[in-house]
């Protein structure tokens, strides 16, 4: 009880302070007793405050709202604007995610791989590398994310297959579990638009994912800084940020896939399994399938084919086919961003090599190379979202 009194005292203090700030105008909570008394005659209250705060924009807005004549219930926005329902849903979903065991388990898994790969790359980074000088050496810091000695995959490779899992885990029961429990229709009986729910869920998950990956990337940068003692250059730092944004985008794609399935399928187990099946197919079976088919159509690797471009064209086709898998797009893009020496994805032609100085590319050029991959990922993410949006908006939600 003592604890509660302390809290309420603090709240009162906060309110008094807030009221003094001009931004919050005539904020203030009515006393609990006054609450009941005033309910019957709200006009008096609004008149009183209205006179005091003529210039207050929020207050004026509130009076207009009140003057629509439709009763009033709890008086809204006494100097403070009520939180938009969309952000209320986002806040609730975020706290749900953060508290859920599912998220905690995945967080610890990703954290573990992050530190594991950091450890291997730190061990590896210390040994001098044989190879063309200057190529990767200039971007020493970025090796934290990519370097490996073969015992443990690098952070980038880990994210390539753990990221989708995180995305799927956060979205597979987004809509169907609420539908099954009946909370969906109860939520929609509140004054919220139907699409707020889906958008809110998506934005909340995206925010959680973005926070997670940015913290991990910054943590790795910080730890790297401590252990190798060389600060990253501005270019390297920007590349890390670009890589993290790309990772968020990649996970957002899988999040949308699983949200789509959660709208389509009634049972969360079905949608989770379907999403995992799609993920397995695209990351494991699809490349195998493409290579098998490609082998059958491979041209004779003679000097003629090499010269007239048949071989190069064939290889282009194979790589492009592989790029239907989002994992391939992601690994293409991350490789280019984190290894500035990479100047082309796919087979190099003679024209590209002639006259080129073997130097790392600036960030702008690297981004230019992966632009199609980025657009592809954004388009796929957006496409999935549009599909789930349409099917959610058209879904008949019958209350139980």
Cα separations (Å) of 10 from 5, 6, 16, 153? 9, 6, 10, 51
Query: How many other CB atoms sit within 10 Å of the CB of residue 327?
Result: 22
Q: Is 181 in the site for another protein (CB under 8 A)?
A: yes
Rule CB under 8 A: say whether 200 interacts with another protein.
Answer: no
Q: Give the containing element (helix H, strand E) for 380.
A: helix 363-394
Within 8 A by CB and 6+ apart from 326, the residues are 250, 253, 254, 282, 376, 377, 380
- The answer to whether the Cα torsion of 207, 212, 218, 221 is positive or negative is negative
Rule CB under 8 A: say whether 193 interacts with another protein: yes
Residues 22-81 that bind another protein (CB under 8 A): 27-32, 35, 39-40, 69-71, 73-81
- Specify the residue, 102 or 129, whose C-beta has the smaller distance to another protein: 102
Nearer to another protein, 20 or 398 (CB): 398
User: Which residue, 81 or 230, has its beta carbon nearer to another protein?
Assistant: 81
Say whether residue 390 binds another protein (CB under 8 A): no
CB count in 10 Å sphere of residue 333: 27
What three-state secondary structure class fits 98?
helix
Q: Cβ closer to another protein: 88 or 276?
A: 88
- 303 binding another protein? (CB under 8 A): no
Our measurement of the distance from residue 316's CA atom to the centroid of its chain's CA atoms, rounded to an integer in Å, reads: 31
Q: Do 79 and 27 touch, CB atoms closer than 8 A?
A: yes
Is residue 268 within 8 A of residue 177, CB to CB? The reply is yes
Q: Taking contact as CB under 8 A, which single stretch among the options 180-188, 202-210, 240-248, 375-383 is the one that binds another protein?
A: 180-188
Candidate list 2, 51, 295, 398; residue touching another protein; CB under 8 A: 398
Q: Which is nearer to another protein, 262 or 336 (CB)?
A: 262
Find the binding residues for another protein in span 318-377 (CB under 8 A): none
Closest C-alpha among 255, 249, 247 to residue 173: 255
Min dist CB 101 to another protein, Å, is 10
Angle between helices 363-394 and 326-338 (to 10 degrees): 150
Q: How many residues bind another protein (CB under 8 A)?
A: 51
Of 118 and 174, CB closest to another protein: 174
Q: To the nearest whole angstrom, how small is the minimum distance from the Cβ of residue 396 to another protein? A: 9
Q: Which residues bind another protein (CB under 8 A)?
A: 8, 11, 15, 18, 27-32, 35, 39-40, 69-71, 73-83, 85, 88-89, 91-92, 95-96, 99-100, 181-183, 185-193, 398-400
């Amino acid at each position: 009880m003592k604890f509660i009194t302390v809290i309420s005292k603090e709240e009162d203090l906060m309110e008094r302070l807030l009221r003094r700030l001009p931004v919050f105008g005539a904020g203030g909570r009515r006393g609990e007793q006054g609450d009941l008394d005033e309910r019957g005659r709200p006009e008096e209250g609004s008149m009183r405050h209205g006179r005091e705060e003529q210039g207050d924009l929020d207050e004026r807005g509130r009076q207009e709202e009140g003057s629509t004549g439709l009763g009033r219930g709890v008086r809204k926005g006494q100097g403070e604007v009520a939180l938009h329902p969309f952000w209320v849903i986002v806040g609730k979903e975020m706290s749900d995610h953060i508290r859920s065991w599912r998220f905690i388990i995945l967080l610890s898994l990703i954290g573990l791989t992050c530190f594991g790969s950091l450890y291997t790359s730190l061990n590896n980074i210390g040994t001098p590398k044989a190879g063309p000088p200057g190529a990767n050496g200039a971007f020493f810091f970025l090796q934290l994310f990519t370097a490996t000695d073969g015992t443990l995959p690098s952070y980038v490779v880990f994210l390539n297959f753990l990221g989708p899992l995180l995305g799927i885990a956060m979205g597979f029961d987004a809509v169907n579990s609420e539908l099954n429990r009946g909370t969906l229709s109860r939520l929609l009986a509140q004054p919220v638009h139907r699409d707020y729910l889906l958008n809110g869920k998506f934005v909340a998950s995206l925010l959680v994912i973005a926070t997670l990956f940015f913290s991990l990337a910054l943590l790795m940068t910080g730890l790297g800084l401590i252990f190798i003692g060389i600060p990253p250059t501005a270019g390297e730092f920007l590349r890390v940020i670009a890589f993290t944004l790309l990772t968020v985008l990649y996970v957002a794609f899988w999040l949308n896939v699983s949200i789509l399935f959660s709208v389509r399928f009634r049972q969360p187990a079905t949608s989770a399994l379907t999403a995992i099946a799609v993920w397995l197919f695209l990351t494991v079976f699809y490349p195998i399938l493409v290579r098998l088919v490609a082998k059958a159509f491979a041209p004779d690797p003679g000097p003629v084919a090499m010269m007239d471009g048949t071989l190069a064209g064939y290889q282009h086709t194979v790589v492009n086919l592989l790029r239907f898998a989002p994992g391939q797009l992601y690994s293409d893009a991350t490789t280019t961003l984190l290894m500035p020496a990479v100047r082309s994805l796919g087979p190099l032609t003679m024209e590209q090599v002639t006259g080129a100085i073997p130097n790392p590319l600036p960030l702008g050029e690297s981004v230019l190379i992966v632009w199609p991959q980025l657009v592809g990922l954004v388009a796929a993410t957006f496409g999935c979202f549009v599909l789930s949006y349409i099917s959610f908006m058209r879904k008949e939600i019958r209350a139980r």
